Structure 1
Amino acid sequence: MPTTPFDSLDDYISIPRVEGLALSPDGARAALTVASLSEDKTSYERALWAVPADGSGTPVRLTRSAKGEGGAAYTSAGDLLFVSARPGAGEDDVPQLWVLPAAGGEARPVTALAGGVSGLVAVAESAPVVVIAAPLMRSAETLEDDTKIRADRKKKKVNAILHEAYPVRHWDHDLGPDETHLLAIDLSDLPAETPGMENAEMPSDGPAPYPGWLPRPVDLTPHPGRSADVDGAALSADGTTLVAAMPTPEGRGSRARLVSIDVATGAHTVLFDEAHVDHAVPAISPDGSMLAHIRMPKADPNGPTDQELWLSGIDGSQPRRVAEGWDRWPGEIAFTVDGTALITATDQDGRAPIFRIPLDGSPVETVVADDNAYTAVALDRTGAGLVALRSSYMAPAHPVRVDFDGAVTEFATPAPVPAVPGTLTEVETVAEDGARVRAWLVLPDGASAEKPAPLLLWIHGGPLGSWNAWSWRWNPLLAAARGYAVLLPDPALSTGYGLDFIARGWNSWGDKPFTDLMSITDAAVARDDIDEQRTAAMGGSFGGYMANWVAGHTDRFKAIVTHASLWAMDQFGPTTDHAEYWQEIFTPESALENSPHRFVQDIVSPMLIIHGDKDYRVPIGEGLRLWAELSAHFMDEDGSMPHKFLYFPDENHWILKPQHAVVWYETVFAFLGEHVLHQMPERPSILG
């Protein structure tokens, strides 16, 4: 039998990964951000590659710095902007903005900010103007002040943060002591060549001056608090107007409002702002006359709310809703070149097609719909279609051109699609309330009635999500290469099936989501190529919550793996990074009723708990309490029990380091091998 990179975990982590896509203004070439395993196999190094955007030619590598590059975007002149911590700008190798000239030559720094650049926010399509996000210290009035404060903290080894607002953490990092600012840069002020040190300004007794040979960033959000942590931003083609979805305090939480910022003066004008409503993901028409955005009323325990598409003048005038009867949640949006429609890719029926939304009230049209998910959609400014990254469970993200007639052309890429084990099919059933529930089923090679495969039920996170796109972290092909079938269901709360399907599980996670999972598992094990006697369940985040709930409500699975999981809702609510959201979508009674910890005494299946200490979305206390309560109920007098706890002191909600991913899968497959396949217990040797 031929081997694939999925047969070996070392081969798997070595597969190059396409992580980003940008299209040049003339539509002739695309820039890809490609991650490759480092020589010592302990990290990923990211480089930029250029490929022809018509599917011809061969990829050409553009960058090679050890620090890597990302966040690429083209300027109006066709130069390539990117963010990198490569040496040559600023201090301490913090990320800065760089530009690679279209005419050739070495990349040159655009910024030298003491705190670095967080990312590119927007690039003007017909003017040399860009907006970046950058952290500045709260009390800094100038860029020089920021440099001095950071130097003082470093010299005195002070890391303390005084919080005066909520929240204090986000996903995997602390908030503060600096604040995100939006800074505008006029690229026409960038010199043709980087001057040598003989021309650089030397520090005086005061704060080190910002390099005079670089364009000085203009602060569009002085003293922003957290208002510059934007939920989308758009820059007019002429670079004069930035529309940003800026959070403003609302009790413990915040709401996003749309703010128009005059780039020349920095003046702010609020366009849309409503209590308990987020206005986000703005897009500006090519001619600068129209603004589109997504309006999202905040949810509460009564049910989910819709995500509405709205259109207005660039000044917010004459707002109206578009695509009102379209029962889908749009993703990122962009105007077509002629300004008559919007383009978006979003979840639908276990896929993520690309849609065209006419602005004249005509029905939403499908541009391309197949068994793939499309992301990073960018319109060709010449009007000749669009480009995107396409993936499925049989192929990782790879760049393609999509014509408006639905024709798809694959690009040449330095990260070709690898050979895969197994096949992909669909399973569906009808739930007890009549709802259709479907799933992807990855079958290993050789699965048959004569040789049925053991089944792994994988439960997605979110909970507002769908199993529809390739994942490097949760990759079912690794299990298929080891002989398992993998069921990837979309139960109640999943996106891509309409608002009513989400509502079925709202404020009652342990009800319809659980019964949907059991129903679709019944449909899968009814197949003659699946072994009903050898099954396990797995999940991370919300999927970990469901794995814990499954563990306390059925004994049908031989083993359960729970990663970064919610265990005790009374504890999770106040300790997660954004407590206000989780405590607002549940009633206190429902949170307790649907808390898995109440059913610990009913757990029969052996459990493998996995948690990272730097996880702020689902804090480590969830894993610790689960482990302690399993120990209290199931530990024998000799200290033994069937459960295990894999702990990562320096990982967060995701396991990101390549060798930690290897340990994760080795431990999971060893645990499943012991309990599902009845193999001898083993421990990965590197764990000691």
Structure 2
Amino acid sequence: MTSESHPMPFSSLDDYIALPRVESLALSPDARRVVLTVATLTHDRTSYERALWSAAADGSGVPTRLTRSAKGESGAAFTATGDIVFVSARPDTAADQGAVKVSEAAQLWLLPAAGGDARAITRLAGGVSGIAAVATAANSLVIAADLLPSATDLEAEGFARKERADKKIAAILHESYPVRYWDHNLGPAEPHLLALDLSSLHDMIAVDTAESAAPSTPDAPAPYPADLPRPRDLTPTPGRTADTAGQALTPDGSTLIAALRVAEQRSGRYILVSIDVTTGTQTILFDEPKVHFESPAVSLDGRLIAFVRSAFSTPEGPADQEIWVADLDGGHPRRLAADWDRWPSSLVFDAQQGGAPGDVNHALIVTADHDGRGPIFRVPLDGRPPEQLTTDDFSYTNVCVDAGTGDLVALRSSWIAPAHPVRIGRSGAGVASITALATPAVLPDVPGTITEVETRAEDGTRVRAWLLLPDGAAPQHPAPLLLWIHGGPLNSWNAWSWRWSPLLAVARGYAVLLPDPALSTGYGLDFIARGWNAWGAKPYTDLLAITDAAEARSEIDETLTAAMGGSFGGYMANWVAGHTDRFRAIVSHASLWSLDQFNGTTDNSEYWQSIFSAQGMIDNSPHRAVRDIVTPMLVIHGDHDYRVPIGESLRLWSELAEHHANADGSTHHKFLFFPDENHWILGPQHAVLWYETVFAFLDQHVHGADWKRPRLLG
């Protein structure tokens, strides 16, 4: 595949959804190759299938496809011996040899480094949720899996699942909060962390022994396969504690450091726990009231841990996110980079560079939002300030460290380049070069150009944005402007998103403004605090100020502007609709409308109530300005959205009709509803329909075109 395969993929929605997508990266133990998880459109163009690809980690050669199955693969990682483990619901032929029918749940699979076919190495009735952690110097790992709370062992768990399935039982009894998360119901199964020792795993011919044979009676549980390593439960009777905020294994696989959840009425906090993998003994390392301990990492020698400490935010202001390091047993804790006003989004230990553990060169590799980008930083452990390693316009994720050279391998992206793998060569503490690695998802050609816009808000604060301009935009042919407001709100327009693609609008002649108003990350705690407990204040005035700056450019037609946003961006779209008539059209996706209603129905109600005061909740609710809305609105929501429940848009739609519909019920507003989508519209054809409806609505109200109903809306 070459970029010429899609000379203008953003002009066609069908071509856009067909672009392959790199979703994750893993580095082999010898640092010679990477494994990429790549999603591609299925033949019927209604979903995506995922496969694993291998590429050289030095930028040479061409990528090689490793897996191919109808169910696809995800979550790839390397074991210490170089085998690749991944999660897949592909058929397991070995499981079909017994008399008991196994479920089609996803299992853990292993692709041998020495060659040969992949094989399933778990057979859990409820399947495997993901790979939690892998040891780098031992052939062991930890997986995440959901188990029914009544089960005493794996056999009983499988039997209980079969009984519920046979009797078509879907009921869930909840005894604690929460009951839903983002797009799915919680329970009845609970999350567990299970240890797997792969050292005894070897290929063998299945033997129908008394231990491995199917039970003679349908009322007896089927034994767990004797030829597979038996998972050991590290979190028995967990409740929701194993809904972790990260975990990491020591190199020898003997100790798991996990951020476990402690329930507290409607909320909870994360504590840092050390778990002995052999005995399952748990030792609390860090636990403070109203403080989260998250994202643990273990040093390459297994002697140190790093983690993020963050106090609970309150209506008075946002809390900082602090980087800490300590001994493996929790001793000698100390905060790093105390004066660094950025929030870490990931952290791993740097490779030792010519010294023993604890010397001045020992450091963490950290990513963080920063001024509309997502650079990589080096944070020394000796107290010196962080050093920014990458200075380009990209954001970096999936950062891996080559323990032999200190070089880094990562995915990077921007608003004009989807995620792609790169090698970051280092000279001392700095960056010497960045080399693109081979990938089956070649970067597509993009329309238009990207530049930065900035202004000063009414309080003097600098506010900046990315501005994408279509080809041909000029004073003689100014482009209409689309203000696109990000979600979060603790977020930044700094990395590619397949869900939100401003290039699709650019290809249709729109200039797109991607601003970071108050509450955005990457500009310091004070910048976030400007909008805290006051979403309708500085975030709103920042948006208007940066829109003024964009409209002042000669390439922009200030008379043809529209606004749109999703989630918090949808909240801001609703707020804008009720407080100004400067926009010709407003698109509000998955939006918050009535905060008093929202805060009790969202999947995490305590958090939202804790960051607003009672008066702030009232003052910042968009629904209070419904009578002042004059701009045509396109409201969009998915019924399986549990973060921002459908009731928000149902009430918005009802109140728009109540106050603005004509006597015959007709209205210039529209409501696009997806019964089987969630906070994001993920189905490829639904995504096409989403964009078709949005662009038809914008064309109608921005350009005065006749309304053109998308064909598949019936």
TM range, normalised to the smaller chain?
over 0.9
CA RMSD of aligned residues (A): 1.2
For residue 258 of structure 1, the aligned residue among 272, 281, 286 is 272
> In 1, distance between residues paired with 2:294 and 2:330?
13
How far apart, in 1, do the equivalents of 2:679 and 2:103 lie? 27
Residue identity in the other structure for 1:115: G
Q: Which residue of 1 aligns with 2:548?
A: 522
Matched, 1:119 2:141: no
Deviation, 1:174, is 0.5
Looking at structure 2, the residues matched to 197 and 372 of structure 1 have their Cα atoms a distance apart, in angstroms, of 56
Please name the residue that 2:13 is paired with: 9
Counterparts of 1:405-444 in structure 2 under 5 Å?
405-406=430-431, 407-444=433-470
C-alpha contact 2:258 2:274 (8 A) present in aligned 1: yes
Give, in angstroms, the shift of residue 366 of structure 1: 1.1
Partner of 1:376: 398
Query: In 2, Cα distance between the equivalents of 1:413 and 1:49?
Result: 8
Which residue in the other structure is 2:98 paired with?
none
Specify which of 19, 22, 29 is matched with residue 26 of structure 2. Answer: 22
Pairing 1:211–2:250 present: no
Can you list the C-alpha shifts for 1:374-420, whole angstroms capped at 9, x where unaligned? 01111112234111001011110000001223210000100000001
Distance in 2 (alpha carbons) for counterparts of 1:337 and 1:18: 26
Structure 1 residues 458-511: Cα deviation after superposition (integer angstroms, max 9, x where no partner): 000000000000011110100000000000000000000000000000000000
1:677 corresponds, among 703, 709, 714, to: 703
Query: Does the aligned pair in 2 maintain the 1:108–1:193 contact within 8 Å?
Result: no
The one-character-per-residue Cα deviations of 1:274-322 (angstroms, maximum 9, x if unpaired) are 0000011111111111111110000010000100111111000111111
Secondary structure at 1:543's aligned position in 2?
helix
Given that 1:47 and 1:62 are in contact with CA atoms closer than 8 Å, whether structure 2 keeps it comes out as yes
CA offset digits 1:152-192 (Å, max 9, x no partner): 11011110000000000000010100000000000112222
User: Is the 1:201–1:212 contact (alpha carbons within 8 Å) kept by the matching residues of 2?
Assistant: no
Instruction: Give the direction of change, closer, same or farther, for the CA distance of 1:56–1:198 in structure 2 (3 Å limit).
Output: farther
Which has the larger displacement, 415-424 or 195-204?
Answer: 195-204
Contact residue 350 and residue 406 of structure 2 kept, 8 A: no
Q: 1:295-306 residue pairs with structure 2 within 5 A?
A: 295-306=309-320
Counterparts of 1:163-242 in structure 2 under 5 Å?
Answer: 163-193=174-204, 195=206, 200-205=212-217, 206-242=220-256
Aligned counterpart, 1:507: 533
1:72 aligns to what?
76
Q: How much has 1:365 moved relative to structure 2?
A: 0.6
Q: 1:398 aligns with which of 404, 407, 420?
A: 420
Report which stretch shifted further, 552-561 or 332-341: 332-341
CA distance in 1, matches of 2:696, 2:7: 21
In the TM superposition, residue 93 of structure 1 has moved relative to its aligned partner by 1.6
SS in 1 for 2:162: helix
Alignment of structure 1 residues 282-301 onto 2, 5 Å? 282-301=296-315
8 A Cα contact 2:452 2:464, kept in partner? yes
Aligned match of 2:326 in 300, 309, 312?
A: 312
Matches of 1:350 and 1:134 in 2, distance apart? 37
1:267 alignment counterpart: 281
> What SS does structure 1 have at the residue aligned with 2:26?
strand
Matched, 1:110 2:121: yes
Determine if contact 2:593/2:649 at 8 Å carries over to the other structure: yes
Aligned residues of 2:318 and 2:529 also touching (Cα < 8 A): yes
Paired amino acid for 1:363: P
- CA distance in 1 between counterparts of 2:255 and 2:450 reads 47
CA distance in 2, matches of 1:289, 1:518: 51
Return the letter of the residue paired with 2:214. M
Q: Indicate whether 1:245 and 2:259 are aligned.
A: yes
Q: 587-596 or 377-386, which moves further after superposition?
A: 377-386
- Cα distance in 2 for partners of 1:73, 1:195 equals 27
Q: Provide Cα deviations, 1:360-382, integer angstroms capped at 9, x if missing partner.
A: 11121111121001011111122
Counterpart check, 1:129 vs 2:136: no
Looking at structure 1, the residues matched to 474 and 163 of structure 2 have their Cα atoms a distance apart, in angstroms, of: 67
Q: Secondary structure at the match of 2:341?
A: coil
Equivalent residue letter for 2:681: I
Does the 8 Å contact 1:108/1:194 carry over to 2? no
Give, as a single letter, the amino acid of the residue that structure 2 aligns with 1:68: G
Q: Deviations over 1:609-659 (max 9, x none)?
A: 000000000000001000000000111112211000000000000000000
* Deviation for aligned residue 1:345: 1.0
Match of 2:162 in 1: 151
Code of the residue aligned with 1:598 in structure 2: it is R
Q: TM-score, normalised by structure 1?
A: 0.99
Equivalence for 1:42: 46
Q: Hey, what's the Cα distance between the residues in 1 that align with 2:491 and 2:373?
A: 11
Asked if 1:620 is matched to 2:631, the reply is no
- Please give the per-residue CA displacement for 1:120-159, whole angstroms capped at 9, x wherever unaligned: 0000000011000000001111001110110011011110
SS in 1 for 2:91: coil
Q: Following TM superposition, by how much is the alpha carbon of 1:198 offset from its aligned partner in structure 2, in angstroms?
A: 8.4
Separation in structure 2 between the aligned mates of residue 3 and residue 636 of structure 1, nearest angstrom: 46
Matches within 5 A, 1:480-491: 480-491=506-517
Residue 82 of structure 1 deviates from its aligned partner by 0.3
Greater Cα shift, 541-550 or 327-336: 327-336
CA distances 1:2-57 after superposition (whole Å, capped 9, x unpaired): 95000000000000000010000000000000000000000000000000000000
Q: Confirm or deny that 1:582 pairs with 2:608.
A: yes
Deviations 1:322-378 (A, max 9, x none): 110100001111111215100011100000000000001112111112100101111
Aligned residue number for residue 635 of structure 2 = 609
Choose which of 321, 335, 355 in structure 2 pairs with 1:321: 335
Verify the 8 A CA contact 2:351 2:406 in the aligned structure 1. Answer: no
1:475 counterpart letter in structure 2:
S
Unaligned runs of 5+ in 1: none
Q: Please report how far the alpha carbon of residue 677 of structure 1 lies from its aligned counterpart in structure 2 after TM superposition.
A: 1.1
Distance in 2, matches of 1:174 and 1:438, equals 39
Residue 594, structure 1, aligned to residue 583, structure 2: no
Deviation of 1:204 after TM superposition, in Å, equals: 3.6
Once residues 243 and 667 of structure 2 are traced to their aligned partners in structure 1, the CA distance between those partners, rounded to angstroms, is 46
Q: Which moved more, 1:599-608 or 1:85-94?
A: 85-94
SS class of match (2:389): strand
What secondary structure is seen at the aligned counterpart in 2 of 1:317?
A: coil
Q: Does the CA-based 8 Å contact 2:305-2:325 persist in structure 1?
A: yes
1-side partners of 2:378 and 2:207: how far apart? 50
Q: Secondary structure at the match of 1:495?
A: coil
Shift of 1:251: 2.7
Q: Structure 2 length as normaliser, TM-score?
A: 0.95
Give me the whole-angstrom Cα distance separating, in 1, the residues matched to 2:418 and 2:309: 32
The corresponding residue for 2:585 is: 559
Deviations 1:51-109 (A, max 9, x none): 00000000000000100000000000000010000010662321100000011000011
Measure, in 2, the Cα distance between the counterparts of 1:198 and 1:19: 42
- For these two proteins, the number of residue pairs brought into alignment is 688
Question: What's the offset of the Cα at 1:193?
Answer: 4.2
Distance 2:707 2:208 in 1: 62
Mapped partners of 1:459, 1:382: distance in 2: 43
Q: One-letter code of the match for 2:319?
A: T
- Describe the superposition over 1:582-610 as per-residue Cα deviations: whole angstroms up to 9, x where unpaired: 00110111111100000000001100000
| 191-200 or 28-37, which deviates more | 191-200
Aligned residue for 1:188, secondary structure, equals coil
Aligned with 1:243: secondary structure? strand
| Structure 1 position 542 matched with structure 2 position 568 | yes
Cα distance in 2 between the residues matched to 1:261 and 1:319: 19
CA distance in 1 between counterparts of 2:30 and 2:479 reads 51
Structure 1 distance, partners of 2:45, 2:649, is: 29
Aligned counterparts of 2:534 and 2:65: Cα–Cα separation in 1: 50
